[in-house]
Each structure stands twice: as structure tokens, then as C-alpha cells.
């Protein structure tokens, strides 16, 4: 059975919240360790679903705003200084009818965009955070049990980190209003 659009949409909606994004990073420990403070997750992790960047003006080009082909950007922020730190984790969720070359192509397109001087268009709540881009970008792929083995083998062969999304999603048992930074994730 192929990946369903509802699986993709549910994962995108889920990981748009910083608590669920941290739960995702717990599945790939090297990225979890990049979070500046787990005691203050709402100030340490900024999630941007379907992220947009502004490419800066150069001598030959005008400034340009573009939507990245990744599904989610997870930016780390120093909770004391309110500035973005160097690590930028870009999440690619396997989309319905997407084959390995399509999934890998989205990562490669993102690398090309972020090879230039850029800044993030931040969510309203984080507008005050210095949002200049960095050259330290890390990919994380989310696949499903229904994702073909060929895609998983391709990610292993390309040495790209991935996690397998296993139901249930983090917020299924908890309404979003009940979450606070101290709420445990089950």
C-alpha cells in the first residue's frame, strides 16, 4: 500500500509544533543534542513548516523570496540571547507517489538554494530572532512503514539520516491546548 496523503499531511501538521519536532529529533540523537536547552524548548526550537527564505541581493541579482522544497525547517535558538544558532535541520517527509529520485532531488534543490546568502522568513512569534542563514544545514528524512524499501535503501546508500514514522503521532492523545513546555511526551 503506498503512502497516503493523509499520512503526509498528519506528519507535517504534527511536526509543525516544537514539542513534536523535538520528539522527532529524539529518534535521531545526533540532532537532538544540537538543541541548546531542553528545559526551555519553546525558546530553543523554532519550527517553520513549508519554509520560505529571502536570498540576499548580490552584484548581479536582486533579492528574491522563495519557498524551499523541504517540508519543515527546525532552527535552534539560544534562549538567553534570542539569536539563532548555527544548526539548521531540514525535514523531508516522504510524499505520496514520490520516488527516491524525487525525494533526493528536493534535498539537492534545497542545498542549491541555501548555498547562497539568505535569511529565514520567521514565524510572527519569532520575528525578533536574528534569522541569517548558515552553512551548517542537516537533512532528516521521514519515511513511513508503507514507504518502499527502495527509498530506504537509497537513503542508506546516500548516507542520509532517516526515521520511520510509526503511528500514533505525538498529539493524537493530547489536545494541543493541554501542552506546555513542561508537558511530558508519551
Chain segment 26-74, per-residue pLDDT in tens? 999 999 999 988 888 888 899 999 999 999 887 788 889 999 999 999 9
* Predicted TM-score of the model (pTM): 0.85
Distances (CA, A) of 32 to 10, 43, 97, 130, 149: 22, 15, 30, 22, 26
Distances (CA, A) of 166 to 56, 79, 114, 146, 147: 39, 31, 30, 10, 12
Residue pair 153/103 in contact by the 8 Å Cβ criterion: no
Cell numbers at 116, concatenated:
547562497
φ, ψ dihedrals at 78, nearest 5°: -70, 115
- Domains of the chain by start residue, with CATH: 5-171 (3.40.1350)
Amino acid at each position: 500500500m503506498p503512502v497516503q496523503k493523509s499520512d503526509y499531511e498528519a506528519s507535517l501538521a504534527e511536526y509543525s509544533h516544537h514539542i513534536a519536532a523535538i520528539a522527532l529529533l529524539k529518534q535521531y540523537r545526533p540532532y537532538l543534542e544540537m538543541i541548546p536547552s531542553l528545559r526551555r524548548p519553546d525558546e530553543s526550537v523554532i519550527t517553520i513548516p513549508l519554509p520560505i527564505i529571502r536570498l540576499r541581493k548580490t552584484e548581479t541579482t536582486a533579492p528574491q523570496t522563495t519557498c524551499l522544497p523541504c517540508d519543515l525547517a527546525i532552527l535552534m535558538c539560544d534562549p538567553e540571547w534570542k539569536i539563532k544558532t548555527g544548526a539548521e535541520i531540514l525535514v523531508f517527509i516522504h510524499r505520496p507517489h514520490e520516488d527516491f529520485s524525487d525525494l533526493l532531488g528536493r534535498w539537492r534543490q534545497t542545498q542549491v538554494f541555501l548555498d547562497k546568502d539568505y535569511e529565514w522568513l520567521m514565524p510572527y512569534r519569532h520575528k525578533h530572532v536574528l534569522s541569517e542563514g548558515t552553512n551548517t544545514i542537516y537533512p532528516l528524512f521521514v519515511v513511513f512503514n508503507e514507504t518502499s524499501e527502495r527509498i530506504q535503501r537509497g537513503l542508506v546508500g546516500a548516507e542520509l539520516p532517516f526515521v520511520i514514522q510509526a503511528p500514533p503521532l505525538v498529539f493524537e492523545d493530547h489536545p494541543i491546548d493541554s501542552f506546555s513546555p513542561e508537558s511530558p511526551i508519551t
